[in-house]
């Protein structure tokens, strides 16, 4: 049997059909047109599913089910998108709507949780039953897999790992709280830290780059050219990521922590200092439950694969 995976994003809806090894056999993408009524978005979603099946030459009757990964709070029990600011949705019964159209069982998960699940079925965490995926992007997203299943918590509201505390009453966060991990460890935060270092150290290469041209890569490029201030920003940024990872070790003791998102492309450059920090700061230090730490593997495909695996 095949499975259909839908990666519902704020910009695009990516639909794929996967085989039993979670290989994507065909994919199709349409604009989300967020903030339209849910019915209109779901109609486009259904048309995209039909297009992808036709493209793959697979009949609906050969599919075991449909999964959707959506931004926001998704209740896997009720199949409802409880709240999604990106989509402008409130209490949309997405699974029921898809089931009525396709007469196939539909499942729903938060997109970050789907990405974590995808890594366990076809990515860097295959065979791992207890892991956490941290996505370092505009924000810091999280997905928790315990005993092989997504841990979504009450109403599917858990795994908002970017909104755990790093500094009580510290930097303001988009969520309204202050001092969240996201306010220090997201790519957005790294850009802010890069700009601040450029202002502080007039001799630094960073001082020569206009603030509006700084992106998540800038500081790494400057460090490559031997810029000390840039390396300092990177070192501190690694501490921020690692401090949050240490909290995950002390609370959940997962077997593996994966980093995803654009910044994670820096690979060992981030992973090495992060591993060292975790091993010297977690409970029990080097005798503690130190997880394997690596980068996620699936990138853009994680959404479809994880949704299909729900």
Mutual orientation of helices 38-56 and 94-102 as an angle, nearest 10°? 50
String marking each residue 55-94 x if it binds a second copy according to CB under 8 A: ------------------x---------x-----------
Provide the token pair at 275. 């591993």
The contacts of residue 63 (CB under 8 Å, 6+ apart) are 1, 2, 3, 4, 17, 53, 104
d(CA 3, CA 8): 16
CB of 251 to a second copy, least distance (A): 6
CB of 153 to a second copy, least distance (A): 2
Which residues, 31 to 50, sit near a second copy by CB under 8 A? Answer: none
CB of 5 to a second copy, least distance (A): 24
String marking each residue 267-306 x if it binds a second copy according to CB under 8 A: --------------x-xxx-xxx-x---------------
- When binding is defined by CB under 8 A, the residue of 159, 259, 271, 308 that contacts a second copy is 159
Which residues, 163 to 202, sit near a second copy by CB under 8 A? Answer: 163-168, 170, 175-177
Nearer to a second copy, 176 or 210 (CB): 176
The contacts of residue 14 (CB under 8 Å, 6+ apart) are 6, 7, 27, 28, 29, 300, 303, 304
- When binding is defined by CB under 8 A, the residue of 161, 187, 209, 293 that contacts a second copy is 161
Count CB neighbours of 203 within 10 A. 9
Count CB neighbours of 55 within 10 A. 14
Provide the token pair at 192. 């802010």
- Do residues 124 and 251 lie in contact, with contact meaning Cβ atoms separated by under 8 Å? no
Nearer to a second copy, 161 or 205 (CB): 161
Residues of the shown chain interacting with a second copy in the complex, contacts defined by CB under 8 A: 73, 83, 130, 142, 144, 146-147, 151-161, 163-168, 170, 175-177, 239-240, 243-244, 246-247, 249-255, 281, 283-285, 287-289, 291
């Amino acid at each position: 049997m095949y499975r259909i995976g839908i990666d519902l994003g704020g910009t695009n809806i990516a639909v794929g059909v996967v085989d039993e090894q979670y290989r994507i056999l065909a994919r199709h993408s349409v604009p989300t047109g967020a903030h339209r009524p849910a019915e209109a978005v779901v109609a486009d979603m259904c048309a995209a599913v039909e297009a992808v099946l036709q493209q793959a030459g697979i009949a609906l009757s050969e599919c075991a089910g449909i999964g959707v990964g959506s931004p926001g709070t998704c209740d896997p029990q009720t199949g409802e998108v409880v709240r999604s600011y990106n989509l402008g949705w409130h209490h949309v019964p997405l699974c029921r709507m898809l089931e009525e159209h396709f007469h196939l069982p539909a499942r729903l998960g938060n997109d970050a949780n789907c990405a974590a699940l995808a890594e366990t079925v076809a990515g860097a965490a295959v065979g791992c039953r207890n892991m956490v995926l941290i996505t370092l992007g505009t924000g810091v997203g999280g997905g928790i897999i315990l005993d092989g299943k997504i841990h979504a918590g009450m109403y599917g509201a858990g795994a908002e790992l970017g909104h755990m505390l790093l500094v009580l009453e510290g930097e303001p966060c988009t969520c309204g709280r202050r001092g969240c991990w996201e306010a220090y460890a997201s790519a957005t935060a790294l850009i802010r830290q890069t700009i601040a270092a450029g202002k502080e150290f007039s001799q630094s290469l960073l001082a020569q780059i206009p603030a509006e041209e700084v992106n998540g890569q800038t500081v790494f490029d400057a460090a490559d050219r031997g810029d000390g201030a840039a390396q300092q920003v990177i070192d501190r940024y690694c501490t921020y990521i690692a401090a949050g990872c240490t909290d995950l070790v002390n609370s959940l003791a997962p077997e593996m922590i994966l980093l995803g998102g654009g910044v994670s492309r820096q690979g060992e450059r981030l992973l090495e200092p992060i591993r060292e920090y975790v091993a010297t700061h977690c409970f029990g230090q080097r005798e503690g439950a130190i997880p394997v730490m690596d980068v996620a593997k699936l990138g853009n495909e994680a959404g479809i694969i994880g949704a299909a695996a729900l």
